[in-house]
């Protein structure tokens, strides 16, 4: 038994560690929740089914967290990316979602627009724009990076590449992801629409041909029905928030100055939400609501 897990769960449930330990041992022996609740009260200190179920779920969740943490550390070590600070951040992550957010910037990726821009030598330009220093002229600075040899055709292409780099940084930022995830949970709307020419064949899902409901309030049976309609090819489902609401959260995190350079960063943040971050958080919510 993992002593740290036992103590953590006991603290969360405000019970004695011995009660959690006894319950964990019974689970290890193959006992079920009803059996433990009814016939092992003397061992668990009269824990009810709710507490016993919670202990089981937390034991599994913490074991999953440790397993994923170990896998991430191994991946970072193999690629020589593990720093003391990163190791400490990973050790301090108390749930899988936070852990994945920390790992996001280091996750192996397919070749992205930001990668291509870095290959073209545009990262210093991105750094300069992101600093948002007064007096920085993006047009003048970008002109220094125009190169036929590197595939940077003109000033606009240089600025676009720099914004791609900034947009990926925004998308990979753990705090931005956490803030946007909270927004999706509080203001997100589940929307479903019928697929083109599927009205007749999908008639059993007609209640959801044009449906919308807050993700935080939708009953599980309704969400399951919409998911089933999507799986069978009759419905299309989205989970989204108003774009302006998302940008109100994101822009102040990254747009820290005024002037032309800050305007470039603002454009990058908007692009990041539309092209990368919004869809990434939607995918996470789809998984969590499942």
Please state the pTM of the whole predicted model.
0.79
Cα gap 5→21, rounded to integer Å: 9
Tell me how long the chain is: 290
pLDDT at 172: 95
pLDDT at 1: 72
pLDDT in tens, the chain (290 residues): 789 999 999 999 999 999 999 999 999 999 999 999 999 999 999 999 999 999 999 999 999 999 999 999 999 999 999 999 999 999 999 999 999 999 999 998 889 999 999 999 999 999 999 999 999 999 999 999 999 999 999 999 999 999 999 999 999 999 999 999 999 999 999 999 999 999 999 999 999 999 999 999 999 999 999 999 999 999 999 999 999 999 999 999 999 999 999 999 999 999 999 999 999 999 999 988 87
Cα gap 194→273, rounded to integer Å: 26
pLDDT at 198: 92
Helix axes 243-254, 155-172, angle to 10 degrees: 100
pLDDT at 288: 87
What burial letters (b/e) apply to 56-93, b meaning 16+ CB within 10 Å?
bebbeebeebeebbeebbeebeeeeebeeebeebbeeb
Give every CB contact of residue 265 below 8 A, 6+ residues apart in sequence.
Answer: 129, 130, 132, 166, 254, 255, 257
């Amino acid at each position: 038994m993992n002593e740290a897990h036992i103590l953590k769960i006991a603290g969360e449930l405000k019970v004695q560690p011995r009660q959690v330990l006894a319950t964990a041992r019974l689970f290890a022996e193959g006992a079920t929740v009803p059996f433990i609740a009814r016939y092992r009260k003397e061992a668990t200190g009269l824990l009810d089914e709710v507490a016993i179920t919670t202990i089981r779920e937390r034991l599994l969740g913490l074991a999953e967290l440790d397993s994923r943490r170990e896998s991430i550390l191994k991946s970072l070590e193999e690629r020589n990316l593990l720093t003391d600070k990163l190791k400490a951040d990973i050790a301090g992550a108390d749930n899988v979602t936070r852990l994945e957010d920390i790992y996001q910037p280091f996750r192996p990726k397919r070749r992205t627009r930001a990668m291509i821009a870095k290959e073209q030598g545009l990262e210093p330009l991105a750094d300069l724009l992101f600093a948002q220093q007064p007096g920085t002229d993006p047009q003048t600075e970008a002109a220094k990076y125009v190169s036929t040899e590197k595939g940077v055709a003109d000033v606009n292409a240089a600025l676009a590449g720099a914004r791609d780099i900034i947009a990926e940084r925004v998308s990979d930022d753990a705090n931005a992801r956490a803030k946007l995830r909270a927004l999706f949970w509080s203001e997100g709307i589940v929307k479903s629409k019928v697929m083109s020419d599927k009205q007749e064949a999908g008639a059993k899902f007609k209640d959801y041909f044009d449906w919308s409901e807050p993700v935080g309030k939708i009953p599980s049976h309704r969400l399951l029905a919409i998911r089933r309609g999507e799986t069978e090819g009759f419905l299309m489902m989205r989970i989204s928030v108003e774009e302006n609401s998302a940008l109100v959260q994101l822009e102040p995190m990254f747009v820290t100055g005024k002037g032309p350079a800050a305007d470039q960063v603002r454009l990058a943040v908007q692009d990041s939400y539309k092209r990368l971050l919004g869809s990434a958080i939607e995918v996470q919510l789809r998984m969590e609501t499942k």
